[in-house]
Structure 1
Amino acid sequence: MSPPNGVGFRPLLSISIAILYFLLAGQAYDEISDGTLNALPRPNNDFDIHHGALLSPILIPRVSGTPGSAAVLQHFADFFRNSLPSWNIEFQNSTSTTPVSKGKEVPFVNLIASRNPPWAAPGDVGRLTLVAHYDSKYSPEGFIGAIDSAAPCAMLMHAMRSIDAALTKKWEKMQAKGDTDSSWEEQKGIQVIFLDGEEAFKAWTSTDSLYGSRSLAEHWDSQVNPAMSTYKTPLSSISLFVLLDLLGSKDPSIQSYFSTTHWAYKKLAHLEKRFRDLKQFKSSTDSSHPTWFLDSSKMEHDISTFLGIQDDHLPFLERGVEILHVIDAHPSTGFPVVWHDEKGVPDDGEHLDLATVEDWSMLITAFAAEWMELEGFMPQSRREAKDAEHKREKRSGKNVDRLNMKTELS
């Protein structure tokens, strides 16, 4: 087996650690408890389409390079600076001509917000990467793009706010106990990317689309971390690239597109089932469509490996990044009826199914909390927290044994 893409030169032990991280990715963390799922915070009025603090400011035309785009970008920046001050915010800028710009360079601005363990060097942190695009279509004039992708952006904002305090508690406890270098798997961070310029201005081509993602993927692939870092580039530090798109319509249909990340797809599907069993989802399903995740009963070898739907993941996929594409696209009926207003149904706030939007935000929160191993640090009962601590300590011992075994074999 070849080393993971982009892992830099390090001593043998560090290389073994990096390889082991990817080999065990599918089993590297435990489920969060029912108590935690029951206690997850809800967005409530923050998703109100007229006055909601998270969603409503995004429900405006926001074509790249326009005042609407700048206003939404400022909304994101203000949210992290004011609500999540421990997060680092960066902007990645580029310009390009478009088929409608008459030779003029249009600016594209990606926002990256991240949190890393406070003791870890940036080049040593593998990051769960949650992504949505924030631009809206150039045509028809006044296009809002509620599912495409205002609602996914708001979902990510809610999810990160919901886990932020737990991240702080976990990392503070690790520092207090001196556990900051006890295991390779604790060098885990998280980042959110709001991408600009996903939409084509005229007709979808390799050059008229994905302006922001093409620029960011190229930039991160060429930006080298300091010598002796675990990850050679910011691109190779992406543990999983989870792209959300076209989410917010009732009864979504989510397929699994990549066999190597089917395990993560199945974790999302399992979380959906658990939420429904606990009566914690507001959206309903019927016997003909009992789950959002159409391929949840399949094994990874049953998944057809192909590029799937063209979207912001492509520039990252082409560079070896592991992708989980969460997009509403039924194999028979295609995209939701509001997609691009092509069927005369506007993709605006009034056509969102808010129960589904809220449920998606809860699901993404649970997935991120599970990945970051926040059981025992999220809100829950005292007994559940104690049980979670016992389970975490027991599992930590097993990981040390597995790591020692790998090192000796190396």
Structure 2
Amino acid sequence: MKPARRGVFHPLLSICLAVLFLFPSAAYQNVSDNTLKSLPRPGKDFDIHDGAILSPILIPRVAGTPGSTTVLNHFVDFFRTSLPTWNVEFQNSTSVTPVSDGKEIPFVNFIASRDPPWALKGDVGRLTLVAHYDSKYEPEGFIGAIDSAAPCAMIMHAMRSIDDALTKKWESMKAKGDAHSSLDDHIGIQVIFLDGEEAFKAWTATDSLYGSRALAQHWDSEVNPAMSVYKTPLSSISLFVLLDLLGAKQPEIGSYYPTTHWAYQKLANVERRLRDLNMFKSGGRDWFPDASKNEHEIARYNPVEDDHLPFLQRGVEVMHIVDFAPIRGFPDVWHTMDDDGEHLDIDTVEDWSLLFAGFAAEWMELEGFMPDSKAERSVHPAEDKPAPQKRRSDKTELF
């Protein structure tokens, strides 16, 4: 990335559901402390030398190279073995780059999703967690641990952490006959690992964001079946959460978009609660300095160009989770050979994975379905009672 200036529904039911999704009407509830306490840590899986999740990504992985294929295969193996109920697909494109001598370079975006088992294609709004998996062409041998091997690993661990709870929730809904009865029945989750974010020579509108530009265009033009709640795969993205440059100590994450500032505040609230529960290893200050501001007080300009742009420009709701401080800029290791596994702060990396698991559990309304959380809550039914909030999805953006 680059800092700027450097079954088929009845037609009427489909319309009603679409309107409800587009406006702040669906209840949003905080998960209990017991649910947060049930979140697992990645532990050995994040060992930089032989950890099952993180270490396979800590290699040079320039788009179109064997390293890129190796990491892509790692994603496939992880989802097929650890998350076999998820749907895995790829979106392919090619492009000439400034260093390819006129040759078309392949770019492969990895997409994994899980929807309620009864939901039809086009009727599911998905929380979408995103990171790029490619590394820079230069300097040769660049690893890109914070940029963005660690964010990919964080997402993988978070999805594994909530997967059993998703199964339990949907099985419970089906057994109780609650399927198809509310908006909650059509909330899914999606992971995108994008290829070709990095520039090959110098960051320009055409030498950068190869994968995200291709995917956003493709999903904007692909049409779902007639009478679907969502016309295109692009419009089915309820919230596009982009992770980048995460894994250094003391991150600072700004909020840039008024229409998703509420989600930024929810993420910050989960972080604060995890700290209060002594579940964070990294210590230090809070990571979200804009959490106490309202949407009118945050910056109206995002200083970082990144994979969210092709989606933002098409009206997708974006929450950009990037470590960028107005005074210091990016983390010190950014785009240097020091951005490797040895320079990661593993406590921070683990804490991020815990935080995104908690946020996803809250978004997917998994209260009572995480391991042990239901039993603990039944013993103390009044403890940590979730407070209903409003889920917003207004389709407007400032850029």
Partner of 1:160: 159
Instruction: Pick the aligned partner of 2:327 from 319, 332, 338.
Output: 332
1:291-325 deviations in whole A, cap 9, x for unaligned?
10010110011123234410000000000000000
Q: Secondary structure at the residue paired with 2:335?
A: helix
Q: Match for 1:241: what amino acid? A: F
Q: Secondary structure at the residue paired with 2:192?
A: strand
Please state if 1:79 is matched with 2:69: no
Q: Match for 1:292: what amino acid? A: W
Q: Match for 2:151: what amino acid? A: P
Contact kept, 8 Å, 2:268 with 2:291, in 1: the verdict is yes
**Structure 1: stretches of 5+ with no match in the other structure:** 1-8, 400-410
1:206-243 deviations in whole A, cap 9, x for unaligned?
00000000000000000000000000000000000000
Aligned partners of 1:45, 1:323: CA distance in 2, in Å?
32
Aligned partners of 1:118, 1:46: CA distance in 2, in Å?
29
Instruction: Pick the aligned partner of 1:353 from 345, 350, 370.
Output: 345
Partner of 2:136: 137
Q: Match for 1:121: what amino acid? A: L
1:19-69 deviations in whole A, cap 9, x for unaligned?
2223226x6321111111112111000000001000000000000000000
Partner of 1:271: 270
Q: Match for 1:309: what amino acid? A: V
Distance 1:38 1:390, change over 3 A: closer
1:184-213 deviations in whole A, cap 9, x for unaligned?
232000000000000000000000000000
Q: Match for 2:184: what amino acid? A: E
Distance 1:272 1:395, change over 3 A: closer
More helix by share: 1
Task: Compare 265-274 and 301-310 and name the one that shifted more.
Answer: 301-310
Q: Equivalent residues in 2 for 1:367-378 (5 A)?
A: 367-378=359-370
Please state if 1:16 is matched with 2:16: yes
Aligned partners of 1:28, 1:210: CA distance in 2, in Å?
35
Aligned partners of 1:258, 1:366: CA distance in 2, in Å?
22
Q: Match for 2:262: what amino acid? A: W
Aligned partners of 1:98, 1:221: CA distance in 2, in Å?
24
Q: Equivalent residues in 2 for 1:82-101 (5 A)?
A: 82-101=81-100
Identical-residue share of aligned pairs (%): 70
Contact kept, 8 Å, 2:34 with 2:377, in 1: the verdict is no
Instruction: Pick the aligned partner of 1:386 from 370, 378, 382.
Output: 378
Contact kept, 8 Å, 1:10 with 1:230, in 2: the verdict is no
Q: Secondary structure at the residue paired with 1:241?
A: strand
Aligned partners of 1:388, 1:129: CA distance in 2, in Å?
33
Q: CA deviation at 1:140?
A: 0.2
Partner of 1:404: none
Partner of 1:316: 311
Distance 1:35 1:164, change over 3 A: same
Q: CA deviation at 1:106?
A: 0.3
Aligned partners of 1:334, 1:267: CA distance in 2, in Å?
25
Q: CA deviation at 1:104?
A: 0.4
Partner of 1:262: 261
**Structure 2: stretches of 5+ with no match in the other structure:** 1-8, 391-399
Please state if 1:231 is matched with 2:230: yes
Q: CA deviation at 1:385?
A: 4.2
Aligned partners of 1:17, 1:386: CA distance in 2, in Å?
33
Q: Match for 1:16: what amino acid? A: C
Q: Secondary structure at the residue paired with 1:356?
A: helix
Partner of 1:362: 354
Please state if 1:169 is matched with 2:172: no
Aligned partners of 1:47, 1:333: CA distance in 2, in Å?
28
Distance 1:13 1:88, change over 3 A: closer
Q: Match for 2:339: what amino acid? A: D
Q: Match for 1:299: what amino acid? A: N
Partner of 1:405: none
Contact kept, 8 Å, 1:115 with 1:189, in 2: the verdict is yes
Q: Secondary structure at the residue paired with 2:17?
A: helix
Q: CA deviation at 1:13?
A: 4.1
After TM superposition, the score normalised by the length of structure 1 is 0.89
Q: Equivalent residues in 2 for 1:36-51 (5 A)?
A: 36-51=35-50
Q: CA deviation at 1:93?
A: 0.3
Aligned partners of 2:113, 2:300: CA distance in 1, in Å?
30
Higher relative contact order (CA 8 A, sep 6+): 2
Q: Count residues with an aligned counterpart.
A: 382
Distance 1:168 1:390, change over 3 A: farther
Q: Equivalent residues in 2 for 1:105-120 (5 A)?
A: 105-120=104-119
Q: Secondary structure at the residue paired with 2:29?
A: coil
Partner of 1:402: none
